[in-house]
Amino acid sequence: MKKKVTKAIFPVAGLGTRFLPATKSVPKEIMTLVDRPLIQYAIDEARAAGIKDFIFVTSRGKSALEDYFDTSPELESVLRKGGKTDLLQTLKSTYMDSGAIAYIRQHKPLGLGHAVWCARKLVGNEPFAVILPDDVIAADKPCLQQMVEAYEETGGSMVAAMEVPPAQSSSYGILDVKAERGPVASVAGMVEKPAPGDAPSNLAVIGRYILSPQVLRNLGSIDKGAGGELQLTDAIAAEIDQGRDVFGYRFDGQRFDCGSKSGFLQATVAFGLAREDLRDDFEAYLHGLISMRQAAQ
Ligand code: UTP
């Protein structure tokens, strides 16, 4: 019987240089879409997928993340006294069960693969999920939940996949697809950041993974790859070479690259418009703004 996926790694040790100067003192994952930090979207998605153990790979300067998940007795008491039950509920959604969350440090930013490898002892010998909080996915059924359901049928390792324009292949890991059945693609190989002419397909890997524990062992033995970093893509591709199944999953939903300024702005607009309490005012503002810009051209 396949083991259930109950552990997730959240690699949050990157420097976030694309958001300097903000990220000098604020971790990227604490930056907010409307009123919730990126990390809250990631945690909610993991919870919906049945994750029970949350493993954060952090680095210096990320203590705001640990504080975010702590209890907040003073704030709680003020809200309770003021009868603000809705806000009290919102506050409590940030609390984690005792022992459910673990923090481990990546001492140097040696890349995503290395960050995941840092969590190997906490994961042990079972399948696990990886969530990159700066990929935010708007979906009716949360993306990781879609993947866990598919994984229960397929086993193996699974990566979230979406089509990208050929010119963007050098920003992603790209799948070499063997066969497709519905949203599930069997993968014959994976290439990290290929030039457009070298990309085996237009199916790119984005920041959700369900991985076999062998991937952690592979990370311990493979050489550094693209950019001189230990690449998670290479460790997953090694699974294929070792004769194990790897699948791409075409998730249903819209992904925002909140690690880039443009993606973050797009997500802010989309999530703002999706909020009932803000929609009317915000939409009217956007219409007004666009009309004004068109009139000025
Ligand atoms: P990015 O490639 O977006 O890098 O990492 P970054 O450092 O966060 O941001 P920029 O490019 O400097 O603006 C993708 C994910 O991998 C994590 C990041 O925290 C992010 O969630 N990561 C990256 C690590 O945990 N450690 C690393 O050494 C590199």
Q: Is residue 269 part of a domain?
A: no
Domain count, the chain: 1
Measured in Å, residue 189 CA sits from the centre of ligand 1 at: 24
Given the structure tokens 């006294």, which residue do they identify? 81
Measured in Å, residue 212 CA sits from the centre of ligand 1 at: 22
pLDDT-derived band at 229, boundaries 50, 70, 90: confident
- Residue 141's domain comprises 7-259
Q: Is residue 206 part of a domain?
A: yes
User: Tens of pLDDT along 52-80?
Assistant: 999 999 999 888 988 899 888 999 999 99
User: Tens of pLDDT along 148-170?
Assistant: 999 999 999 999 999 999 999 99
Distance, in Å, from the CA atom of 167 to the CA atom of 219, rounded to the nearest integer, reads 29
Residue 291's beta-bridge partner residues? none
Q: Work out the average pLDDT over 244-258.
A: 97
Measured in Å, residue 140 CA sits from the centre of ligand 1 at: 27
pLDDT-derived band at 192, boundaries 50, 70, 90: confident
Work out the percent of the chain whose per-residue pLDDT is above 70.
99
Q: What is the CATH number of the domain that holds 181?
A: 3.90.550.10
User: Tens of pLDDT along 195-211?
Assistant: 988 999 999 999 999 99
* Shortest-distance atom of ligand 1 to CA 106: 26
Q: Is residue 216 part of a domain?
A: yes
Q: Work out the average pLDDT over 12-34.
A: 94
Q: Is residue 276 part of a domain?
A: no
Measured in Å, residue 13 CA sits from the centre of ligand 1 at: 6
**Closest alpha carbon to 157 in 148, 146, 170, 167:** 148
pTM of the model: 0.94
Measured in Å, residue 15 CA sits from the centre of ligand 1 at: 6
Q: Is residue 282 part of a domain?
A: no
Q: Which residues line ligand 1 (CB under 6 A)?
A: 11-18, 28, 57, 106, 109-112, 115, 132-134, 259
**Closest alpha carbon to 226 in 194, 183, 178:** 194
What per-residue confidence (pLDDT) applies to 226?
A: 72
What per-residue confidence (pLDDT) applies to 127?
A: 97
Query: CB of 131 within 8 A of CB of 8?
Result: yes
**Across the chain, what does the average pLDDT equal?**
93
Q: Work out the average pLDDT over 33-55.
A: 96
- N-terminal to C-terminal alpha carbon distance within the chain: 63
Residue 128: pLDDT above 80? yes
Q: Of residues 136 and 73, which shows the higher confidence score? A: 136
- Interacting residues of 252 by C-beta distance below 8 A, sequence separation 6+: 139, 140, 141, 146, 183
* Shortest-distance atom of ligand 1 to CA 111: 28
Residue 296: pLDDT above 70? yes
What per-residue confidence (pLDDT) applies to 1?
A: 58
Ligand 1 pocket: which of 9, 10, 12 to mutate (most atoms <8 Å of CB)? 12
Q: Is residue 284 part of a domain?
A: no
Q: Work out the average pLDDT over 17-36.
A: 94
Q: Is residue 250 part of a domain?
A: yes
Residue 8's beta-bridge partner residues? 54, 129
Q: Is residue 195 part of a domain?
A: yes
